[in-house]
Structures are given as structure tokens and as C-alpha cells.
Amino acid sequence: MEAVIPVDVGAPSPRVTNFDEKLNGDGLRANLDLLEEAREESRIRVAAYKQKVSNYHDLKIRPREFRAGDLVLRKPAISQPKKVEKLSPIWEGPYRVKDVIPLGSYKLETLEEHLLPHA
């Protein structure tokens, strides 16, 4: 049932005068039948939106590859996630790339040639 405000009961509006309980029940059942279809359309729209966002993001990404001997900086949030605070520096380093490991990982060393423990 649809809620009706007291003013509509006292001074009938077209919505109240044209209300038919049987048609209302049929309409509610039809809406229930179409509910799964509406959900599926929403899923398709969300998937299409995610794909567009992903494609846009991928266009803006510039892949970078480093070679042994290159100087790099790294984020402290990756190496020490618990020590990062609001006013902490964004980058730490410089470090030198010692070895290139497949899949985009690197062994780093300090400028004094001390190897860092994590790739």
C-alpha cells in the first residue's frame, strides 16, 4: 500500500480518487516480477562503468623500468607501514638498483652498498 498524507484524505486529489486496490496489487506483483531484470541491468551498468574507469586509468599509467645502477626513491609506507604518520616524508632514499627481479621487483642497496632486506 502507498502512504497517503492526511490532506489527501480530507480533500481528495486525483491520486486518491483514481486509486484502485486491485490494480495497485497487480502493479506491485508486476514490479516484483521485473525486479530481477532490473538488478541484472544494474549489474551490467556497473560492470561497464568499472571497465571504462579501468581503461581510463590504464591510459594514464606510464610504465617505468629500471636497470641495475639506477638511483631510485621508494615509499616508506610500503617498507614500514606502521611507522607512517601524517607528516612523514612521502619518499625515502635515494637507493641504487642492485638486481632486477622478474615481474617488476628490484633488489635495492643504499649508496654505501648495504643491501636492503626486502625486494
pLDDT value at residue 29: 83
Q: What distance in Å separates the CA atoms of residue 52 and residue 13, rounded to the nearest whole number?
A: 46
What amino acid occupies position 21?
Answer: E
Element (H, E) at 29: helix 21-60
| pLDDT of 35 over the 80 cut | yes
Beta strands 71-74; 105-109: pairing state: unpaired
Q: What distance in Å separates the CA atoms of residue 30 and residue 22, rounded to the nearest whole number?
A: 12
Q: What distance in Å separates the CA atoms of residue 20 and residue 16, rounded to the nearest whole number?
A: 9
pTM: 0.48
Q: What distance in Å separates the CA atoms of residue 92 and residue 64, rounded to the nearest whole number?
A: 18
Q: What is the pLDDT of residues 47-103, one digit of tens each?
A: 999 999 999 999 988 888 899 999 999 887 766 667 767 787 888 889 999 999 888
pLDDT value at residue 7: 63
Q: Kindly list the domain boundaries of the chain, sorted by start residue.
A: 6-60, 71-109
With cut-offs at 50, 70 and 90, classify the pLDDT of residue 16.
Answer: low
